[in-house]
Every structure is written in C-alpha cells, then in structure tokens.
Structure 1
Amino acid sequence: MQRRTLLKAAAAGVTAPALLTATGTPASAASSLSIRGIDFSSVPKAEALGAVWRQSDGTQINPVQLLSRAGITHARLKVWVNPADGYNNKARILPMAVRLNRWGIKTIIDFHYSDTWADPGNQTKPAAWSSFSVSQLSTAVSTHTADVLGALTAQGTPADLVQIGNEINGGMLWDTGNWNNLDNLAAFLTSGINAARATTPGVRTVLHLANGGTQSLYQWFFDAMKARGVNWDVIGMSFYPYWHGTLGDLAANLSYVTNRYGTPAFVAETAYPWTLADQDGTANLVNSADQLTSGYPASSTGQNAWVKAVADTVAATPGGKGLGYCYWEGFWTATTGNGWDPTNAASGNNWENQALFDHNDVALPALYTIGSYRA
C-alpha cells in the first residue's frame, strides 16, 4: 500500500463461542461474502508491547477471541523474509495461525518477498537474495513459499488463501522482476504459485494489485501474466477511496476482471478513518477533510457506513464472483514501539485513526459490521 512509501494465546482445547454481533445476535453464517477479513499482522508485536483491545462494552478481550465473537472469517498475515524487528516471519506466523485456528478463523498469507514493506513504491529484494540471478530468485521464491506454507500445513493450520506478492502493480523483487521485466516477474509468480499448491492442497492463490478502481491497469497486468502462462485462482484488489477512485470505479473493475479472466476477486485491502485526530504524535496518512469521501465523515458512523458500502459493492459483483473483503490493519492501535518502521522502535503509527478501535482501545461498530454482513 502507498502508505509505506509516504513515509496471550488462547488455551489449547478451548471451544470457541457462538459468533456474536455487537448487539448479541448471531452473526450470519451464510453471508453472501465468504471472506469477511481483517489484516492482523501487527497484533503479535503489539501484544508483546502491552497493547490491549476491548469489546464494545469496554471489557478487555483476547484479540483472536474478539475476531471470532465479531464473526470475522479470515485474518490476513503478512510474511517478510528477514525483518529487522523479528516480526512477520515464519516463527511469528506459526503460533498465530494456531491461535486463529482454535477460534475458527482462517488465514490469508500475504508474501511480500522482502525484508520490509512491499507495495507499488517499494519492492526491495531481501538482503540475502540481493545478488541472485533470475534462476536463483525463482528458486528462492519457491523455497521460501514452500517453507512457510508447508510448516503451516504440517501443524494443521493450512492457509486458505495465499498472496504471491503484495500490491505488485510494478512487479516484485526489483529491479529484476519489475514491470519492465515481465518474463522474469511471471517466472517468479509461477514459482510461488506452484510451491503454494504443492504444499497446501486446495489453497487459493491470489495475485494482488493496488488501485482497485483502475480497470486499465488490471487489464494490462493480467493480460500480460495470462499470456506468460501464470495461472492464478483469485484476483486481489486494494481499494482506498482517497487514492483509488470511487465505489463505482471499484464495481466496474470487479465486474470487468471477473468476467474477462473467469476467476473470482476480493478487496484485499480497504480502510476508512473514524477520526482525523492523531493519538501518538505521528501524522496520520489521512488527516484532513479534503481526503474524505462525500457522505462518509471521519466518524465511527462514517467508517461503519464505508465498510458496509464496500461490502455491498463486492456482493453485487455479477455471478457471485465477489468473494468479500479484508480491512487493512484494523487492530493497529497506537502502541509505543509498534510503529510503521521495523528498523526504528521510536517510529510512530500513522494508521491508528483508521483502526477499528477508538483511542481508548474500544471496538468500533465497523468491526462488528464486517463480521455480521448480510447483502
């Protein structure tokens, strides 16, 4: 996502409770959206630093249990190769997947193929891969993907979906796999897809771009990959209204790509502010009224209306090919030491005003709306 360029476990054997909405009514088990997800990547580090999360009534709760109570179906976990802070790697992903599985939450594994953020403005090779040839990079992608996914499968928590790269508009593993080297990029994607399918039978592989409202970008990219034999299962889109167009643009693109390529799609990332106020002294990425979408104020009501509007848009995709959506980093509240820069513990969070919790760490209505959605 462009934001980067701008700048205790549940006891074993516990039975998960019935899924509840904020009002205590059962969440829809037969929603028209099979993916009602939240990116959960920041949670392990936040927990280690003392973060807490509270239900809408103010009571503190285990964050994984809260996902289940809210009716969330999927947690998205990003994977870095050798991160500076030691988080978002295989060692951290495995125990979190166990916790999520105990509460009935499936995983979306999001490979960045980098030691840090990968997005349209940054696709830096892992340091250990920096001198690799094209062939060596293809092998590294395969080995790394198989290592993480194979370990998840071995412990009984196989991934449900896997992203082979994150927001790869401009390619990945720059410069070798950038959009000027599409043959190389296709080779890397094929290596990752093949490794995912070999280690996780039934997994759905995702190719994920940003700019979800830009049909021309998606046609160019997916035509190019299809022509090179890349065989994906699902198209993932990032869609943030302050960067990526209107809901009408999103609807049109969802309809277009699912029809043109015959595969389903989902919104892999979206978010909206519930306030413009900053909590930790680090300027928020969305911090002024002119960044907002008309009809959606920076309030808990506006945020809740936004997630419902995105859900309705995806659910309206013809042929039932809109699988759902994933809210980006909804649990990333302002916690000292858990900022945006993994190399700098003093860095702040520029996202807490788009989290699904207020500044007292109390869950906002949008969290429950995501999980209890009905078309």
Structure 2
Amino acid sequence: MRRIRAVLAAALLAMVLPLAVASPAHAGPGLAIRGADVSSLAKSEALGGVYRYADGRRGDALAILRDAGVNYIRLKVWVNPADGYNTKTQVLAIAARAKALGQKVLVDFHYSDTWADPGKQTKPAAWENLSFDELRQAVYDHTADVLGALAAQGTPADMAQIGNELNGGLLWPDGRYDNWPGMAALLNAGYDAVKAVSPGTQVMLHLADGADNDLYRWWFDTAAQHGVRYDVIGLSYYPYWHGTIAEFQANINDVALRYRKPVVLVETAYPFTTADADGWENIITSAEPYPGYRATPGGQAAMVRELARVVRQVPNGLGLGLFYWEATWTGVPGNGWDPADPSSGNAWENQALFDYSGRALPGLNALGGS
C-alpha cells in the first residue's frame, strides 16, 4: 500500500574560519533553518570520533558546523535503547553545547527503544503492556520529562517532533493508520506536553516519502478531521528513494498552501563517494544515485544547493529550511546502526558531511550557505 509502504533501508540506518566557509551560492536571503541532524555525535565522540575543518585542523564538530553557517541541530530521543545513547542524557549535553554556540535545537521523539519509521513503530518495552490511557499518559510524561529538563537547564527546545516518519502512525497498534482516533489522542498528548512545559517550542509532525502528494493529502486531511494539533510540517525527501525533485517541489508547495503551515525538509542526504570506510556495506552505492548528481563531494554539495533552492521557492515564505540527516555519522568503529549489536557497522558514512579523514566537505558549506 503506497501510503504506508516501508522505507526499510532507513532502519539501517539532528569564530568564523574563512578557509571553512564559502559564500552563499544563491541570490537573496538565506533559509531560516540551515540544520543538521547530529544524533550519532555523542556516541561517535565517546568512541574517539575526530572532526576537522576543511583545512585539516581539528575542532569541535558543532563549532565546525556553526562556523560553516549551520544554525540548527536535530537530536532524536529513544526511550530505553540497548546502548544507552539517544536518550535525555545525551540530548541535554549536546543541546547545552549547541545553545552556547548560538544554535537552535529540534528534538525528535521516536517513542520507541530503537528506530521508528514507516516500516515499524514499535512500542518501548516498558510501555508494551500499558492500557491505552496509560500509554497516552506515558507519551505525555516522556515528552514533558525531556523538554522540561531542557527548559530547566536554560536550553529550551525550539522545536519538537511528536513521532518520526508518521506515515503509518506511531506506537503500533494503538496509534496505527487504521486507528485514527487512537493516533490523534497520542499525538495530541505529545502536543499538550510540549506546550505545558515549554510553551515557546513549536510542534512538528513529520512524514517520509516527501514527493508523495497522495500520502500527504490523505494523512493531513485525516489528521484535521480528528483534531490533531501541530505548528509545522516536516518532510523526509531522499532523492534516490522518494521520487523526482520536481515531484518533491510540487508536493512541498501544495502542502504549505493547503494546510497553511510552515514546512521543513527535515531529513535529506546524498553520498560524496561510493567507497566504504568501515567494512559494512553502504546503503547507497551507485556512482550517480540521482540523474545528474554524481556521488562525489561536488555532487553532494550540488544536491544540497538544489534542495535548498526548492525550499526557498515554497510560496508565501512558508519554506523554513532543511536539515541534513546524520551529518556527523562517520565510520567510527562501534558506532553502528543497531544499538543492540556493537559489531554492527554504519551504512551511512559515505553520506556524512565529513570525509573519511574527518574533514568537512563542500556539502557542509552548501548547507550553511543555503
């Protein structure tokens, strides 16, 4: 079924230095959000990951991003993951660093112990046997706990996602696509928690398959019928999976105008090489994953600039910006995709914004200058 098809590959799966900063490659004002998902950063650093400016000097990864123009980071939250990462502990620490650098923070609630995406929305183990009312309360309490802690340390979240890639709902089966009253109640529990503990935080609802207009109209029309509350619409669009750029542009424009909400391309990425760094086969291995854009540093940067152009052209100024997915997920041994398997590798390192020596790539400047 097209509307709920799985993106299974996603399961394998947040001082200016002139040499590291390029001038914007477009006319007119930049995007309000020039963001990067850095959810894997805390674990990478703990395992010895190194990040460098384009000229080879070592630096703090968030500072390198900031100096290139990245003004927003995204951090996912799992409830009780096997490896202890992507929890409130790391979110608080990374958010404090980002805020000190002047960056904003988007918190991405998966409401799971592991990856939540269109192919799976598995309840946290601790929530498996809860009644529906208890489950709804757990969503509220978990959301309030993380965002309340951020506010208490003086680094409130600027935006929060209630669920991740919600094509088929969340917390299956209670909030699945075939139980819209349940889904709406769970989503609104998250919304209410955000506004109760951090009133200035904007609430995003996020779907994958960003070129699928039938999906977006069905989902957000039905959400409206069930009184689902939100402030911003997020879209995932990976050019090698989700249709043509023209189809993505048509959909994001339609979504912004139809629902009169700001829109964000909240996940995208592109490879800078076909080579592998960690012995774990990469998800994308084609030399030209999207026609006209090679898997090279220049091709990656060109794709980032093109997608930024699409978002800038959303009517009525409703295109807020974009987040590059897992910009810092380099091939550090032990920082693999499966939190339950330390031997798993990273199938994404050829799409990071740092090369295999840890140097910032041209794609980072393209993102920061978008």
Partner residue of 1:185 out of 176, 183, 186 = 183
2:307 matched residue in structure 1: 310
Matched ranges for 1:1-375 at <5 A: 2-5=8-11, 17-18=15-16, 22-23=20-21, 31-289=29-287, 292-373=289-370
Deviations 1:238-283 (A, max 9, x none): 0001111111111111111111111010100000000111111111
Amino acid of the residue matched to residue 320 of structure 2? L
Partner secondary structure for residue 3 of structure 1: helix
Distance 1:26 1:257, change over 3 A: closer
Query: Matched residues in 2 for 1:102 and 1:370: separation?
Result: 21
Partner secondary structure for residue 37 of structure 1: strand
Query: Matched residues in 2 for 1:95 and 1:353: separation?
Result: 27
Query: Matched residues in 1 for 2:263 and 2:320: separation?
Result: 6
Do the aligned partners of 1:215 and 1:253 also contact (CA within 8 Å) in 2? yes
Query: Matched residues in 1 for 2:139 and 2:19: separation?
Result: 40
Identity in percent: 52
Query: Matched residues in 2 for 1:361 and 1:84: separation?
Result: 27
Deviations 1:207-248 (A, max 9, x none): 000000000000000011111111110000000011111111
Partner secondary structure for residue 205 of structure 1: strand
Query: Matched residues in 1 for 2:207 and 2:195: separation?
Result: 21
TM-score by length of 2: 0.95
Partner secondary structure for residue 331 of structure 2: coil
Structure 1: gaps (5+ residues)? 8-16
Query: Matched residues in 2 for 1:232 and 1:140: separation?
Result: 19
1:11 matched residue in structure 2: none
Q: CA deviation at 1:25?
A: 6.1
Structure 2: gaps (5+ residues)? 1-6
Distance 1:33 1:26, change over 3 A: closer
Do the aligned partners of 2:96 and 2:155 also contact (CA within 8 Å) in 1? yes
1:10 matched residue in structure 2: none
Query: Matched residues in 1 for 2:278 and 2:22: separation?
Result: 33
Partner secondary structure for residue 347 of structure 1: coil
Query: Matched residues in 2 for 1:31 and 1:351: separation?
Result: 31
Amino acid of the residue matched to residue 337 of structure 1? G
Do the aligned partners of 2:30 and 2:369 also contact (CA within 8 Å) in 1? no
Number of residue pairs aligned between Structure 1 and Structure 2:
362
Deviations 1:39-74 (A, max 9, x none): 010000000000001110011111111121111011
Do the aligned partners of 1:64 and 1:100 also contact (CA within 8 Å) in 2? yes
Amino acid of the residue matched to residue 246 of structure 1? T
